[in-house]
Chains A and B, each alone.
Chain A
Amino acid sequence: MAFGLLKYGLNPRFQPKQFLRDSKDLKSSYDVVIIGGGGHGLAAAYYLARDWGITNVAVLEKGWLGGGNTGRNTAIIRSNYLTPEGVDFYDESLKLFKGLSRELDYNILYSERGHFTLAHTDAAIRTSRWRAEVNKHLGVNSEVVYRDDLARMVPLLNLSEEVRYPVLGALYHPPGAIARHDAVAWGYAGRAAEMGVELHQNTEVTGIEVEDGTVVGVETNRGRISCGRVLQAVAGRSSEVSRLAGIDLPIRSVPLQACVSTPVKPILDPIIVSGSLHVYISQSDRGEFVMGGSTDPYPRYQTSSSLDFMEGLMGHLLELFPFMSEMPVLRQWAGLADMTPDFSPVMGKTPVNNYYIDAGWGTWGFKATCVSGKRMAETLATEKTPNILKPFALDRFRTFDLVGEKGAASVGH
């Protein structure tokens, strides 16, 4: 085994791939400029090149690729949403995710674990049933399970009734998975760059030029660029960037925190979420427990972490998993979540011609990286909004056609 590894490691056929060439100068013009080099921007670049042959594309990233929420999330992938629109959309993404390692020839460590959303009240059981029925109707595997099932399926879970909020049951979603978030960004970036897409780091968009209602160029810290079309995919900075183009959004930027423990041997296979207790936990392939909850209580443009968060999280988590009291916390961090009133994203055309938006990903957008990249690429290339994206148009806030996913997305990202 050791010899085999050595042979593989020294074999010149398996050199590490270097996809970020030395930083090139910006060209004066591109067919498509993508603002934001997170998973969403990079995936859109990849599908523009692969599906539509559009390669005169620049991804402009003010920091480093995948350094925003893409590299900060807790990587939960699932499609057990509440609305038919949401279920269809996220399920397309889940299917793309399953084949992504092979498609990108880059291991994203996709790991199917099963996902439990615990219910501690009759109301939560009712929502679980509702979600299970909608899911099953649309061909998504979900069912409600009760205490005796949980005792068997999650032996570590504290099912005592002598706690503040005893567990009554759960929504069980076998396809629930986790993946390596950085690898998703790097995989898309690498393949997009191979097809000719330019990736520019340390390149911040500081202005957007709109003439007669049509976008014609962007201003950056490295100079001006003309462009045919723009895709904005900047998550927590959505409102500030779209303001440059004169577009107002129904979004608030609120920090979302998470933390990991020191690594231990595999002991917790499934992903466990409790909406009522505002906590979720899974164990990564490295053995760390990955934990988080809902967003901070008020908006701010900051990604600092707090003791309040840790206290709130642990207070409830220890009730569910008492053994966690012996686990040291290794790291704590935050990302800036772009929250919408209905907990669904905003995708598609904007009032500015040729300016497209991919925003409102809040605490739930990692799992949508594949489908939003693919479908936004289609929207840019064809100038038509695919049916699967239509419910998520910015215009829904004018017609009050909201896609309410709070019950399925506010804690269990």
Chain B
Amino acid sequence: MKIIECPLNGPRNAQEFVFGGDVINHPNPHLISDDQWANYVFIEENRAGVVQEWWCHVPTAYWFIAERDTVKDEILRTFDPSEIYKERIDYNRPEVEAQSQDTKNNKVGEVNSTNKETGSSI
């Protein structure tokens, strides 16, 4: 992987880019348990295969999404995040009633907990 196709700047040298981790849905911290938050912060899919990731073109500070095969180390497709994120997302503290829900534990590394809210599939 020497050249990366930047949706904004076209094909550029791979050294101009930095990797920003899997594309995962940022949960609303006010709505989930501490365990689920820990899961979101630390647990990685780390899949051998095709994944969706954030990449940044550093000279233009432009963030975009890439579909990459981590075994072949090939980028299959890059696109602007607006393809997925159509509207602004706020993480406001919900009304008091809503807060009481979902205090169940979801342990880090729990059996079959494979990325529920924090899953990389969007």
B19 located at the interface, meaning its Cβ lies under 8 Å from any Cβ of chain A in the complex: yes
Residues of B within 8 Å of A299, CB to CB, are 19, 46, 70
Q: How far is the CB of A112 from chain B (nearest CB, A)?
A: 36
Which one of B23-31, B80-88, B92-100, B106-114 is at the interface? B106-114
Residues of chain B in range 38-64 having any CB-CB distance to chain A below 8 Å? 38-39, 41-48
B115 touches A300 (CB 8 A): no
Q: How far is the CB of B64 from chain A (nearest CB, A)?
A: 15
Interface size class of chain B, counting residues whose CB lies under 8 Å from the partner chain: 20 to 34
Residues of A within 8 Å of B108, CB to CB, are 248, 250, 394-395, 397-398
Q: How far is the CA of A240 from the CA of B48 in the complex (A)?
A: 7
Residues of B within 8 Å of A395, CB to CB, are 107-109
A374 located at the interface, meaning its Cβ lies under 8 Å from any Cβ of chain B in the complex: no
Residues of A within 8 Å of B107, CB to CB, are 351, 395, 398
Residues of A within 8 Å of B109, CB to CB, are 247-249, 350-351, 394-395, 397-398
A239's partner among B47, B71, B73 (CB-CB below 8 A) is B47
Q: How far is the CA of A83 from the CA of B79 in the complex (A)?
A: 42
B46 touches A302 (CB 8 A): no
Closest to B14 in A: A308
Closest to B49 in A: A301
B101 located at the interface, meaning its Cβ lies under 8 Å from any Cβ of chain A in the complex: no
A117 located at the interface, meaning its Cβ lies under 8 Å from any Cβ of chain B in the complex: no
B46 touches A252 (CB 8 A): yes
Count of A interface residues, CB-CB < 8 Å: 32
Closest to B72 in A: A302
**Consensus secondary structure, chain B interface:** loop
A213 located at the interface, meaning its Cβ lies under 8 Å from any Cβ of chain B in the complex: yes
B46 touches A300 (CB 8 A): no
Q: How far is the CA of A318 from the CA of B117 in the complex (A)?
A: 49
Q: How far is the CA of A252 from the CA of B38 in the complex (A)?
A: 16
Closest to A213 in B: B111
Q: How far is the CA of A37 from the CA of B108 in the complex (A)?
A: 27
Q: How far is the CA of A351 from the CA of B70 in the complex (A)?
A: 27
B112's partner among A246, A249, A400 (CB-CB below 8 A) is A246
> Per-residue CB proximity of A221-258 to B under 8 Å, as 1/0?
00000000000000000011001011111111100000
A314 located at the interface, meaning its Cβ lies under 8 Å from any Cβ of chain B in the complex: no
Q: How far is the CA of A298 from the CA of B21 in the complex (A)?
A: 9
A302 touches B73 (CB 8 A): yes
A249's partner among B41, B46, B48, B71 (CB-CB below 8 A) is B46
Residues of chain A in range 18-45 having any CB-CB distance to chain B below 8 Å? none
Q: How far is the CA of A240 from the CA of B44 in the complex (A)?
A: 11
With most chain A CB atoms within 10 A of its CB, the pick from B39, B44, B70, B113 is: B44
B18 located at the interface, meaning its Cβ lies under 8 Å from any Cβ of chain A in the complex: yes
Q: How far is the CB of B113 from chain A (nearest CB, A)?
A: 6
B35's partner among A245, A252, A394, A398 (CB-CB below 8 A) is A398
Q: How far is the CB of B10 from chain A (nearest CB, A)?
A: 20
B44 touches A251 (CB 8 A): yes
B111's partner among A246, A249, A301, A302 (CB-CB below 8 A) is A246
With most chain A CB atoms within 10 A of its CB, the pick from B109, B111, B112 is: B109
B113's partner among A240, A248, A297, A397 (CB-CB below 8 A) is A248
Residues of chain A in range 276-334 having any CB-CB distance to chain B below 8 Å? 297-302, 304, 308
A109 located at the interface, meaning its Cβ lies under 8 Å from any Cβ of chain B in the complex: no
Taking A301-B70, A395-B108 as known contacts, 4 extra A-B pairs with beta carbons closer than 8 A to each other, sorted by chain A number, are: A248-B113, A248-B114, A304-B73, A395-B109
The 4 closest A-B pairs by CB, nearest first: A298-B19, A239-B46, A398-B108, A250-B42
In the complex, 27 of the A-B residue pairs with CB atoms within 8 angstroms, ordered by the A residue number, are A210-B111, A213-B111, A239-B44, A245-B111, A246-B111, A246-B112, A246-B114, A248-B44, A249-B46, A249-B109, A250-B108, A251-B44, A251-B46, A253-B46, A297-B19, A298-B19, A299-B70, A300-B73, A301-B48, A301-B70, A350-B109, A351-B107, A351-B111, A394-B109, A395-B107, A398-B38, A399-B38
Give B residues with C-beta under 8 Å from A.
Answer: 15, 18-19, 35, 38-39, 41-48, 70-71, 73, 107-115
